[in-house]
Amino acid sequence: MKKADFAGSPSGRLVATDRGQWAFVPHDLPPPELDLGRLSAQVARASQLLGELNGIGRTLPDPYLLIRPLQVREALTSSSMEGTYTTVDDLLLLEAGAPDRGGAADTREVGNYRRALSAAIRSLDEVPLSLRTLRDAHRRLLDGVARHRGVRAAAGEFKQSQNFIGAYEIENARFIPPPPAEARAALERLELYIQRDEPGLIPDIVDAALIHYQFEAIHPFADGNGRVGRMLITLHLFMRQVIRQPILYLSPIFERRKDEYIDRMYDVSRHGAWHEWVTFFLDVVAQACEATITTADALLALQTDYRARLRDAGRSANLFVILDLLFQRQVVTIPQVAEHLDVQYRSAQLNVETLLRVGILEEVPGTANPKYFIARGIRDIINETPARHA
């Protein structure tokens, strides 16, 4: 990290660290140089779209019709930004209990992300958003991960040695976050900031941008900081009830604009470019709202179509129960359907055969004992990040 690039930054200070290098310690939030007046138009646009998104959430008969597919998409894209790749089919099959189809380590890690995110959201019913929340999420994220990163990174524990970004050697790093002691102190102050009773004049959506930057600048874990930091956005907005259901996830848009995402945060550290970062963040929020609204419309339309097919196919109420299950879990087996319905295998088999006949389920090739079936239409919506509205 070039000391001269950060020496005059209004956003933090430099401290000496390993091998004669310098680390950047961000100043506490909020930044005094932030001009909220310059952000009013962007805040208004994002707030309007968040209102529309909340409206859709209130009309859903079951919010998990939308939440679960969005979380799968978030897990895939947030993980791929950090070099952990799998396919939506492999992830859905793994979560349905299918045997390894290759690339299991990455698929398991992506599945860990979704489970960690879901558990963190549930935890907010019992405890406030805190460092404990983030450590628990990190522990679940790296649970059972045996790759080189996971071996070095203690799951659920803050870093014990200096980390750095953008190179294999610290001397060539693009950015060096605070050493462990300074990082822990900065984290504790960030926790106090997140939990303060009165947020003051800063809109919650702007606060989310500030908090995300601060977490990433501190970089408290040896690995997994990007993914936990992106979870933190949804957790903060849900805790503050900016979103009434956990249905806003930014990683699909961040992935599309990855270079700008990284550069905007980097420029906050170097130059104090808070306005540019928050403007970018609010635009991402707006795009994510638009994309989520498009996804919700597509899922609801598909649900309506599927229900019409089932009404024409038979009168079994169990068909509609299975359909609801498929919007939460896109891959199933006949024994899983039988357990869910609390019926005998043959009854579940007949219902699955009906779903196959009307084109809602397809058999997954190469599976046997048991066979796995996928709701391909729902899977296709998960796999597509809707384009931004014109």
* pLDDT tens-digit map of 344-368: 999 999 999 999 999 999 999 988 8
Asked whether the beta carbons of 177 and 26 are under 8 A apart, the reply is no
Query: Which residues, listed in sequence order, are joined to residue 12 by a DSSP beta bridge?
Result: 26
Domains and CATH numbers, the chain: 3-293 (1.10.3290.10), 314-382 (1.10.10.10)
**Residue 151 pLDDT:** 42
**Residue 256 pLDDT:** 94
The pTM of this model reads 0.92
Confidence bin at 68 (pLDDT 50/70/90) = confident
Q: Give the C-alpha separation, 254 to 216, whole Å.
A: 14
**Residue 268 pLDDT:** 97
Neighbours of 19 (CB within 10 A): 8
Confidence bin at 57 (pLDDT 50/70/90) = confident
The length of the chain, given as a count of residues: 390
**Residue 146 pLDDT:** 61
Q: Give the C-alpha separation, 117 to 122, whole Å.
A: 9
Q: Within 13 A of 57's CA, how many CA atoms are on the CB side?
A: 21
* pLDDT tens-digit map of 227-243: 999 999 999 999 999 99
* pLDDT tens-digit map of 264-295: 999 999 999 999 999 999 999 999 999 999 98
**Residue 144 pLDDT:** 79
Confidence bin at 187 (pLDDT 50/70/90) = very high
Asked whether the beta carbons of 30 and 210 are under 8 A apart, the reply is yes
Q: How far apart are the first and last CA of the chain?
A: 40
- Reduced to 3 states, what is the DSSP secondary structure of residue 245? coil
Asked whether the beta carbons of 46 and 237 are under 8 A apart, the reply is no
